[in-house]
Amino acid sequence: MTHEVRQGTFSSRGQRLAYTIHGSGSRPLVYLPGLLLPARMNTPLAEHLAERGNMVILLDPLGQGGSSRPREAWRYSMSQFAMDVAALLDHLDIERAVVGGTSMGANITLELAALAPHRLRGMVLEMPVLDNALVASVSAFTPLLVAMTTGEPLMGALSRLARLVPSKLIPLPLDALLDTVRQDPGPSGALLTGTFFGRTAPPRDQRQTFTAPSLVIGHHRDPIHPFSDAGMLSRELPNGRLVEASSILEMRFHPGRLLGEIERFLDQVWGPDERLVGARGPGGGARAAVRRARGRPVASTRRGAVPGPRRPR
């Protein structure tokens, strides 16, 4: 790995949110994890794309990974998560980015398209959870919700045992999945409650107005992420394109083909020459590109420093 890796935090809605930036340049991609999973589940994707001139920002949504974990269910909803992504772009002084994610991350991206379409250069929607997933999602997550609320003491003991398992002993996808058990069950139950009883995505008539170029990735034999939802979404989006994965495991264990599809999509959205702008030397990155576009001076930053908050204008 030869690219920069920087970590930082910022505040949104009075809560601390954590993120990791891989690489630099003027092609920002914000990528979001699935429900209850940490952002580092997408580290291989970030490393691959960063080595090819993209700046990949992995955000831990509220209640997940290294971000704050409040116990109030009202703090958790897809629309509020989308507000947090917009706040992240403000914090990094990025006007437009490609935004995407896995499962819940894909749904948050759709909510951002409803909230602030002008912030989107494109969307990568992996395993969206829409109309056809309702029955399976309720069936799968209701027992987990009950366990993390009514059965919180028992789940607390289980989480303490799970923390004893060293991360380095198991593959990253399995380690990220184990994080759902390692976390304190109380906030996780609040997260499930908030997302369970709010809307999961913008309605169909609104989705049909999202004009940002979109890559939709789906797979068969998964009732929580049915391929019919991915196909439906790709047809609804005016500029959507569907890519079929072989299974839910392909992106996590054999991602080469799908990463190539995402890389080509980013080239189409940004243009292949954009990967070289700001990718080398002090003052590179999306912030520098934005300042150049506005005719403002570009301030040098020391290597490894995390960009600070947007300055008042």
Quote the number of domains for the chain.
1
For 252-262, what is each residue's pLDDT tens digit? Answer: 999 999 999 99
Contacts of 243 by beta carbon, 8 Å cutoff, 6+ apart: 215, 216, 217, 218, 258, 261
Note whether residue 55 is domain-resident.
yes
Confirm if 60 and 67 have CB atoms less than 8 A apart: yes
Q: Please give the radius of gyration of the chain, using alpha carbons only, rounded to the nearest integer.
A: 19
Q: Please compute the mean of the pLDDT values over residues 175-194 and round it to a whole number.
A: 94
Q: How many CA atoms lie within 13 A of 168 on its CB side?
A: 0
Note whether residue 280 is domain-resident.
yes
CATH of the domain at 166: 3.40.50.1820
pLDDT at residue 2, rounded to an integer: 84
Q: End-to-end CA distance of the chain, in Å?
A: 37
Note whether residue 83 is domain-resident.
yes
pLDDT at residue 300, rounded to an integer: 32
DSSP class of residue 31 equals E
DSSP class of residue 63 equals T
pTM of the model: 0.87
How far apart are alpha carbons 245 and 229 in whole angstroms? 14
pLDDT band at 275 (very low <50, low <70, confident <90, very high): low
Note whether residue 306 is domain-resident.
no
Note whether residue 301 is domain-resident.
no
Q: Please compute the mean of the pLDDT values over residues 7-35 and round it to a whole number.
A: 97
Note whether residue 305 is domain-resident.
no
The closest alpha carbon to 106, from 177, 255, 210, 184, belongs to 210
Per the structure, the complete domain to which residue 30 belongs is given by 5-293
